[in-house]
Amino acid sequence: MSQCNQCNVTVRGDNKVCPLCQNPLIGDVGEALYPKIPTVYRQYQLIFKILTALTLSGGIICVGINLMLPQSGYWSVFVVFGIICFWISIIAVIKRRGNLLKSITFQVVSLSLMFIALDFLIGWTGWSLNFFIPISCTVAILSLTIIVKVKKIPTEDYGVYLIANLLFCIVPIVFYFTGLISVVLPTLFCMAVSVVTCVVQIVFEGKNLWREIVKRFHV
Amino acid sequence: MRTKQWIRLDNAAKIFPAAAYGSDTQVFRLSCELTEPVNAHILQQALNETAAMFPVYQCVMRRGLFWYYLDSTDLKPVVREEYKPPCSAIYCKSNKGLLYEVTYFKNRVNLEMFHVIADGKGAAVFLTALITKYLTLAHGVSAPSLFINASHTQMSNDSFATYYDDKNHSKAVPRPNSYKIKGAKVAENRLKLITGHVPVDQVLRIAKGYGATITVFLCACLIKAIGSNMSVRAKRKPVVIAIPVNLRSFFPSLTARNFFGLVHVEYDFSTESGTLEDIIQKIGKQLKEGLEPERLYSDLNRFSALEHNVFARIVPLPVKNIVMRTAYLLSRRKVTAALSNIGIINVSFGTDYIRSFDVCSATDSMQVCVCSFENCLSISFTSRFISADIQQYFFRMLVQMGIAVEISSNNVENE
Ligand SMILES: [Zn+2]
């Protein structure tokens, strides 16, 4: 129990300064009365800075290269689009608006349909299947992985996120096997990202996942 | 299989889903601090048994075409260690869970509730039942078996509807815009929580000296503290404090849902002297007028009029939400702060193991919640603002009257 000599009150908890007047307290510092819950931004300050730097520089570099090689098509538009979708998802997490898995799936599906329709309308060249869908699936997988980490998703729901991850990776592969895809690189990239994120999650959360599986399927 | 029941939101609750936004989550917290660390396992067991006694709270909120409604559910409440800031949002559009939550931290058990399902009085009955169950389980004694003095239907009764009379409602008296507290706000919609524990007998003695009740006395101190932080220009607007009133003490009801009214008291620093005696006298009179049964009854009827208006009823929910949110924001401009006294909390067993009860509520500016247990009066400020000048003035004022004050805080600025 400590004391503030300015306010003449006793202060409980682990305060070093008085909650009322911010003057230093005298006496023993006690135990914390409330859990420390860091604000999302402060907790992940470094991640946010790295993400901002990466996406911003990545976007600028892609646009730059694209401008230098105009004959390669307007592919950098998709990169910028992906970055915007990515940040929309991240901001939505922090603002706690609704179910993230739903929101991301909705974004990917609606944008994909829109771009397939657009591709079809301006004369089918397949860029929506070749580039847009694998890239947006990759972005979705990355966002999901970060969200699971930032939001501290309980293990009960973890499985759903892993399955979503796999689904986002399977869709481009299905297109690949149906022979609709002529440029393989984005699809391969999407697969690689999915495999890596799954492996990372299993390595770090495998024990909890396994416990969950045992619990749900016990005989 | 039994068919699932559903119920309408009561009349006070209808506004809450639309009003819940940002820091003003319409969630309140009632907590009980024990003299020993909480055992999560026993607490879960106690919660399972208590939840079964209050089927009225075993529900999720869903959106209909015209109104929200409560749908009973088989979801079981799960005890967790405290993991988020006090009074954080509970209802989430896409994740339909129970509308209350029980958490613990060290010696403290917290019950957080979305205001849609209950008011402070209803929650207090639930929490005391939970604590009694917990203590009997933890100490292996057979306490007098817990007895809730109400049937399940009485608990889920919508008392606003029961006492509604369409012939008896008066026009609302238009009130001027009030002074609003300004200042830098705490990050991420968090609330600064400062709780002061003071001895009931000391406060009661001083309040009696002024010829006031505890509620009036504390409200006057709050107004004076707010006044001390107002600029001369700001003093042109009156300070208005909203005081929720438990209608169960005026209209017989055993409901565990919402049943309260609001009385507004105001004080104008530009025309009045601003001494504590004067404030106590003026607002004491206003509160007394507001609590006259005819006045409460006509307010209650006005509250219910919306639901009984056919045109208002057939407006689709999304439009209704916008209208109700606007109405709520407009009404908030006429209130400076709120003071809610849920009164004495009684526990039938285990008072030796209980240190205190506290109550606090989400707000968009500042709210004071008061409750008492044995000789401990708990006064909790929740505030959107980083500055604690009003709280400081308030508690120093009590100290100067010779009251021993013990402060605790969630130290939101360190997070
Ligand atoms: Zn101090």
- pLDDT-derived band of residue B170, with 50, 70 and 90 as boundaries? low
A39/B187 touch (CB, cutoff 8 Å), yes or no: yes
For residue A219, pLDDT beyond 60: no
Q: Are residues A204 and A98 in the same domain?
A: yes
pLDDT of residue B1: 38
Helix (H) or strand (E) holding B162: helix B159-162
Q: Are residues A63 and A148 in the same domain?
A: yes
Q: Are residues A181 and A99 in the same domain?
A: yes
Cα(A97)–Cα(B309) distance, rounded to whole angstroms?
A: 32
Name which of A99-113, B182-196, B326-340 the model is least confident about.
A99-113
Beta-bridge mates of residue B114: B27
Angstroms from B240 CA to nearest CA on chain A = 23
pLDDT of residue B145: 61
For residue B393, pLDDT beyond 50: yes
Chain center to CA of A37:
21
Both structure tokens of B131: 């604590």
What's the angle, vertex CA B393, arms to CA B389 and CA B397, rounded to 5?
170
Q: Are residues A114 and A204 in the same domain?
A: yes
Point out the residue among A20, A35, A40 whose CB comes nearest to the CB of B105: A35
What domains are defined for chain B?
6-142 (3.30.559.10), 175-414 (3.30.559.30)
Cα(A187)–Cα(A132) distance, rounded to whole angstroms?
A: 10
Cα(A7)–Cα(B407) distance, rounded to whole angstroms?
A: 10
Q: For the segment A158-215, what is each residue's pLDDT rounded down to a tens digit? A: 677 777 778 888 888 888 888 777 888 888 888 888 888 888 888 877 777 777 667 6
Tell whether B407 is within 8 A of chain A (Cβ).
yes
Q: Quick one: average pLDDT of B162-180?
A: 77
Q: For the segment B307-351, what is each residue's pLDDT rounded down to a tens digit? A: 677 777 788 888 888 888 888 888 889 999 999 999 999 988 888
Q: Are residues A186 and A167 in the same domain?
A: yes
Q: What is the DSSP code string of chain A?
A: -EEETTTTEEE-SS-SB-TTT-PBPEE-----SS-----HHHHTHHHHHHHHHHHHHHHHHHHHHHHH-GGG-STHHHHHHHHHHHHHHHHHHHTT-S-HHHHHHHHHHHHHHHHHHHHHHT----HIIIIIHHHHHHHHHHHHHHHHHHTT--HHHHHHHHHHHHHHHHHHHHHHHTT--S--HHHHHHHHHHHHHHHHHHHHHHHHHHHHHHHHT--
Helix (H) or strand (E) holding B130: helix B120-138
Q: For the segment A47-74, what is each residue's pLDDT rounded down to a tens digit? A: 888 889 999 999 999 899 989 888 877 7
A20/B194 touch (CB, cutoff 8 Å), yes or no: yes
CB-CB contact of B70 with B56 (8 Å): no
Q: Is B301 helix (H, G, I), strand (E, B) or coil?
A: helix
CB-CB contact of B118 with B256 (8 Å): yes
CB-CB contact of B26 with B114 (8 Å): yes
Q: Distance, CA B396 to ligand 1 centroid (Å)?
A: 9
Tell whether B187 is within 8 A of chain A (Cβ).
yes
Q: Distance, CA B224 to ligand 1 centroid (Å)?
A: 19
pLDDT of residue A133: 83
Cα(B132)–Cα(B143) distance, rounded to whole angstroms?
A: 8
Cα(B381)–Cα(B376) distance, rounded to whole angstroms?
A: 16
pLDDT of residue B2: 47
A35/B196 touch (CB, cutoff 8 Å), yes or no: no
Q: Are residues A47 and A152 in the same domain?
A: yes
A9/B399 touch (CB, cutoff 8 Å), yes or no: yes
Angle formed by the axes of helices A133-150 and A100-121, nearest 10°: 170
Give me the residues of A, 81-110, that contact B with CB < 8 A.
96, 98-99, 102
The whole-chain average pLDDT of chain B stands at 89
Cα B48 to Cα B39, B54, B101, B130: the distances in Å are 14, 10, 12, 9
What b/e sequence results for B160-178 when a residue is b if at least 16 CB atoms lie within 10 Å of its CB, and e otherwise? beebbeeeebeeeeeeeeb
- Percentage above 70 pLDDT, chain A: 88
Angstroms from B104 CA to nearest CA on chain A = 10
Between B141 and B73, the higher pLDDT residue: B73
For residue B187, pLDDT beyond 80: yes
Q: Quick one: average pLDDT of B48-75?
A: 88
Q: How many CB atoms lie within 10 A of CB A120?
A: 11
DSSP state of B242: E
ipTM of the complex: 0.87
Point out the residue among B81, B105, B409 whose CB comes nearest to the CB of A19: B409
Q: Quick one: average pLDDT of B285-290?
A: 93
What's the angle, vertex CA A149, arms to CA A78 and CA B100, rounded to 5?
115
Q: Are residues A127 and A175 in the same domain?
A: yes
pLDDT of residue B144: 61
B408/A11 touch (CB, cutoff 8 Å), yes or no: yes
pLDDT of residue A215: 62
- Percentage above 90 pLDDT, chain A: 16
Name which of A98-102, B77-81, B190-194 the model is least confident about.
A98-102
For residue B280, pLDDT beyond 90: yes
Beta-bridge mates of residue B21: B24
Q: Are residues A83 and A107 in the same domain?
A: yes
Nearest CA in chain A to B188: A39
Both structure tokens of B342: 């849920």
Q: Distance, CA A9 to ligand 1 centroid (Å)?
A: 7
Angstroms from A202 CA to nearest CA on chain B = 25
Please state the domain count of chain A. 2
Give me the residues of A, 145-184, that contact B with CB < 8 A.
none
B406/A98 touch (CB, cutoff 8 Å), yes or no: no
Q: Are residues A96 and A172 in the same domain?
A: yes
- pLDDT-derived band of residue B171, with 50, 70 and 90 as boundaries? low
Q: Are residues A11 and A105 in the same domain?
A: no
The whole-chain average pLDDT of chain A stands at 81
Q: For the segment A135-146, what is each residue's pLDDT rounded down to a tens digit? A: 888 888 888 888
* Nearest alpha-carbon partner for A94 in A42, A161, A157, A154: A42
pLDDT of residue B367: 96
Q: Are residues A82 and A170 in the same domain?
A: yes
**Residues of chain B contacting A19 with CB distance shorter than 8 Å:** 194, 388, 391, 407-409, 411
Tell whether A18 is within 8 A of chain B (Cβ).
yes
Q: Quick one: average pLDDT of B219-223?
A: 97
Q: A121 is in which domain, residue-wise?
A: 40-217
Q: Distance, CA B384 to ligand 1 centroid (Å)?
A: 20
Q: Are residues A106 and A23 in the same domain?
A: no
pLDDT of residue B147: 62
CB-CB contact of B46 with B374 (8 Å): no
DSSP state of B95: B
For residue B65, pLDDT beyond 90: no
Residue type, B42: I
